[in-house]
């Protein structure tokens, strides 16, 4: 994804009024605004773990996710359902012999949401380091 970046002065804040672009107050306000824009659905620890695991695997079964994330059936079910309702992940149910198998995949919109989330987190980190 291409982002537009404004040229920054060599000495940020020098000769700049409080709150204008490049001033420390503006950087802090931007960081706070970006924090508010974080995707709260993904920001929750278990849901971020699910999306991240699926981002690096083509698919994972319910049991594989449960073992990988070291969580309970109920906890995984609740969080996976929220991600599925948002269409961030897809769920396919089938049988292997007589055993049910639930398989999850990250959808294109889920991958985009994760990329946006990571972009926001990177912007927050940059803003804090630039202080």
100: domain CATH number is 1.10.10.10
Compute how many other C-beta atoms are within 10 angstroms of the C-beta atom of residue 61: 14
Q: Could you give the number of structural domains in the chain?
A: 1
Tell me the whole-structure pTM to 2 decimals.
Answer: 0.71
Quick check: is 69 in a domain? yes
* Helix residue ranges per DSSP H, 7-107: 24-36, 40-43, 45-55, 62-69, 73-85
Q: Is residue 114 part of a domain?
A: yes
Q: Report the C-alpha gap between 48 and 91 in whole angstroms.
A: 17
Asked, for residue 18, whether it belongs to a domain, the answer is no
Residue 76 has what pLDDT? Answer: 98
* Domain-located, residue 47: yes
The answer to the question of residue 8 being in a domain is: no
> Which residue range forms the structural domain that includes residue 85?
43-129
84 within domain boundaries? yes
Residue 23 domain flag? no
Q: What is the pLDDT along the chain (131 residues), one digit of tens a residue?
A: 433 333 333 333 333 344 444 555 555 556 556 555 678 899 999 999 999 999 999 999 999 999 999 999 999 999 999 999 999 999 999 999 999 999 999 999 999 999 999 999 999 899 899 88
Other beta carbons within 10 angstroms of residue 115's beta carbon come to: 12
């Amino acid at each position: 994804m291409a982002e537009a970046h404004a040229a920054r002065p060599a000495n940020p804040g020098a000769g700049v009024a409080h709150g204008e672009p490049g001033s420390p107050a503006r950087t802090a306000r931007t960081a706070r605004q970006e924090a508010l824009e974080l995707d709260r659905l993904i920001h929750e620890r278990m849901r971020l773990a699910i999306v991240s695991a699926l981002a690096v695997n083509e698919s994972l079964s319910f049991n594989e996710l449960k073992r990988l994330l070291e969580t309970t059936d109920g906890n995984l079910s609740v969080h996976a359902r929220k991600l599925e309702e948002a269409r961030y992940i897809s769920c396919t149910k089938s049988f292997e012999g007589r055993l049910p198998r639930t398989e999850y995949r990250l959808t294109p919109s889920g991958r985009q949401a994760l990329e946006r989330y990571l972009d926001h987190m990177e912007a927050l980190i940059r803003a804090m380091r630039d202080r």
